[in-house]
Amino acid sequence: MKKITIITDSASDITLRQLADWDVRLVSMPILFGDDTILDDKTREMSVFWDYMKEGGILKTSLPSPDVFAEAFEAEIKAGRAVVCITIGSALSGTYQSAVLARSMAGGEDIYVIDSWSASSGEKLLVLEACKLRAQGFSAKDIAEKIEERKKDVRLFAGIDTLEYLVKGGRLSSVAGQIGSMINLKPIITLREQGKIEVAKKAIGIKRAIHDVAKLVEENPIDAESPVLGLFACEDENLKSFRAYFAAHNGFDKEITADEIGATIGAYIGPGGFGLAYFAKKSTD
């Protein structure tokens, strides 16, 4: 059986350590940083980006070109390896379409491209699942088929602490942002099919946001046999408060990791955001 290379984009917020430990290859997302375009290749500390944003800078994100993906695919195929590529949700970015085009440029055979329907830690969960399946000896085709099914079980709920960066990034009107800030609005977002962002709840104040995220997770029970990834943007105090609240009120004693949101998604979330990504428990109905 062919060896398999798993590729993901940097919107998955995979770290350099995880890339090495999990044996995953990264395709970096371009980011407009001031007058320069840099690659989100995970070599820079996130504090560089947060400090820039706090000082009034605006990060703008782009997508890897088909040529970048094709180069990555061709190198693996030339080395005799099959490829499983997991991308950010197609409703959030054109990255998936770019990778699909690159697959045809690279020949198509033994290259499987998967729209994660997610981003950040939700996308990372699928990368980790693909790595586990590879270790179990599944073929690239089988891994792709299983991930296509598994992605339907991914849940991601995130509380946004500030609306400032949604406005700056053009995802929210300035008027709506001003009104929301005046009433201390903390929207709870989730991702649906293709990665479409939906507002699951609108909380007033961070304490209510923590309660509401916990309630949403309770309504979409966790598969406790799978990893549970906590996510935070810049400051992890809100995530810590959520983990404590969730453990106390939901009796959940499984470890929840703390994954920092990267530059690609953090450009819109802004400091203080927090949330949870996990696989939902299968219904017994």
Q: What is the CATH number of the domain that holds 80?
A: 3.40.50.10170
Residue 158 lies in a domain: yes
Classify 180 as helix, strand or coil. helix
List, as own/partner pairs, every contact residues 163-170 make where C-beta atoms lie below 8 angstroms and the sequence separation is at least 24, other chains included: 163/187, 164/270, 165/53, 165/267, 165/268, 165/269, 165/270, 166/268, 166/270, 168/58, 169/58, 169/59, 169/60, 169/267, 169/268
| 145 shares a domain with 86 | yes
Residue 185 lies in a domain: yes
User: Which alpha helices (DSSP H) does the chain contain, by range?
Assistant: 16-22, 46-54, 66-78, 95-105, 120-135, 140-150, 164-168, 174-182, 206-219, 237-250, 263-269
Bridge-based pairing of strands 4-9 and 24-27 is parallel
CB 246 within 8 A of CB 252: yes
Q: Domain end: 151, 173, 207, which one? A: 151
The secondary structure of residue 262, as a DSSP letter, is -
Residue 272 lies in a domain: yes
Q: What is the CATH number of the domain that holds 251?
A: 3.30.1180.10
| 114 shares a domain with 67 | yes
Confidence at residue 56, expressed as pLDDT on a 0 to 100 scale: 85
Residue 156's φ and ψ, nearest 5 degrees, are -140, 120
| 210 shares a domain with 136 | no
- The percentage of residues in the chain with a pLDDT greater than 70, rounded to a whole number, is 92
Confidence at residue 170, expressed as pLDDT on a 0 to 100 scale: 55
Q: For the segment 7-60, what is each residue's pLDDT rounded down to a tens digit?
A: 999 999 999 999 999 999 999 999 988 788 989 999 999 999 989 888 888 888
Q: Domain end: 151, 182, 208, which one? A: 151
| 110 shares a domain with 212 | no
| 74 shares a domain with 32 | yes
Q: What is the number of domains present in the chain?
A: 2
Instruction: Tell me: pLDDT of 264 over 60.
Output: yes
| 222 shares a domain with 242 | yes
CA distance 46 to 31: 13
| 169 shares a domain with 145 | no
pTM: 0.93
| 130 shares a domain with 8 | yes
Spatial strand order of the sheet with 154-159 comes to 197-204, 185-191, 154-159, 274-279, 228-232, 257-260
Confidence at residue 165, expressed as pLDDT on a 0 to 100 scale: 64
Of the ranges 22-36, 82-96, 168-182, which one carries the lowest mean pLDDT score? 168-182
Q: For the segment 121-157, what is each residue's pLDDT rounded down to a tens digit?
A: 999 999 999 999 999 999 999 999 999 999 999 999 9
- Which of 105, 118, 102 has the alpha carbon at shortest distance from 151? 118
CB 132 within 8 A of CB 7: no
> Who wins on pLDDT, 131 or 189?
131
Residue 285 lies in a domain: no
Of the ranges 155-164, 217-226, 229-238, which one carries the lowest mean pLDDT score? 155-164
Domain extent, residue 267, equals 154-279
